[in-house]
């Protein structure tokens, strides 16, 4: 039976083969008979141990390869799920971006309507609803909304936006409540 320590067996068998070869050489020099079957048996034992070591190494490589293959298969399954989630998030981001663009266009259009209506009523066009003022205010609100994505930076890839002014606390509230308050100040009798 092969012991767990094949290298010790191999070293002992190699030493036995070397010793028997020395004995055979000495017998030849001294004109004595030598039983070659002893050397053949020792060489076979050395070959058997080498074969066992080779088989053990192959089995180890195969087990490692199987484990790696199983790990890759599991990772591929995870990756397939991640791809689905990624594409769903891309789809959601695209839809949200398009909806935001539509909503901001509508905000601008309705602000223009309010400005025109205020002018017709003789109230005067509220500065808070003019293009640049409105866009500045909403862009700062969007920058606050983007903070969970970017941390405290005002950049996402090549997209930059202004930081909310200090103190920023009021920029973190509800957009509709803030705009309602602005309308109450700008159009007190109409809101």
What string of DSSP letters covers 44-86? Answer: HHHHHHHHHHHHHHHHHHHHHHHHHHHHHHHHHHHHHHHHHHH
In a domain, 156, yes or no: no
The pLDDT, as a whole number, for residue 126 is 85
The rounded distance, in Å, linking the Cα atoms of 189 and 191 is 6
pLDDT at 167: 59
126 assigned to some structural domain: no
Q: So what's the pLDDT on residue 86?
A: 97
Is residue 52 assigned to a domain?
yes
The pTM assigned to this predicted structure is 0.64
* 154 within a domain of the structure (yes/no): no
pLDDT of residue 25: 94
The candidate with the shortest Cα–Cα distance to 111, out of 124, 126, 101, is 126
CA distances from 114 to 128, 172, 183, 184 (A): 11, 25, 10, 13
In a domain, 142, yes or no: no
Please give the chain's pLDDT, 191 residues, in tens.
Answer: 444 689 899 999 999 999 999 999 999 999 999 999 999 999 999 999 999 999 999 999 999 999 999 999 999 999 999 999 999 999 999 999 999 999 999 999 999 999 999 988 888 888 889 989 999 888 888 888 887 787 767 788 888 877 766 656 667 788 899 899 888 888 877 76
Whether residue 143 is contained in a domain is answered as: no
Dist CA 172 CA 164 (whole Å): 9
Q: Say if 117 falls within a structural domain.
A: no
Cis peptide leading into residue 167 (ω within 30°): yes
The number of beta carbons lying within 10 Å of the beta carbon of residue 157 is 6
Total number of domains constituting the chain: 1
Place of tokens 């398009």: 98
Q: Does the residue 167 lie in any domain?
A: no
Containing structural domain, residue 40: 1-92
pLDDT (0 to 100) of residue 72: 97
Q: Residue 52: exposed, middle, or buried by beta-carbon count in 10 A (0-12, 13-18, 19+)?
A: middle
Extract the tokens encoding 63.
């087990």
139: Cα separation from own chain's centroid: 31
* Polymer length in residues for the chain: 191
């Amino acid at each position: 039976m092969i012991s767990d320590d094949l290298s010790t067996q191999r070293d002992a068998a190699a030493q036995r083969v070397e010793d028997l070869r020395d004995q055979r050489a000495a017998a030849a020099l001294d004109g004595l008979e030598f039983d070659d079957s002893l050397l053949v048996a020792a060489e076979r034992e050395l070959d058997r141990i080498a074969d066992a070591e080779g088989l053990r190494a192959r089995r180890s490589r195969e087990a490692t390869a199987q484990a790696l293959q199983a790990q890759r298969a599991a990772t591929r399954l995870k990756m397939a799920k991640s791809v689905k989630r990624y594409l769903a998030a891309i789809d959601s981001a695209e839809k949200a971006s398009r909806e935001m663009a539509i909503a901001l266009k509508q905000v601008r259009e309705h602000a223009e309507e309010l400005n025109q209506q205020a002018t017709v009523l003789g109230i005067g066009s509220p500065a808070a609803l003019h293009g640049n003022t409105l866009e500045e205010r909403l862009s700062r609100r969007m920058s606050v909304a983007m903070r969970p994505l970017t941390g405290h930076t005002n950049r996402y890839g090549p997209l930059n936006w202004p930081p909310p002014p200090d103190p920023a606390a009021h920029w973190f509230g509800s957009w509709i409540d803030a705009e309602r308050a602005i309308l109450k100040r700008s159009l007190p009798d109409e809101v």
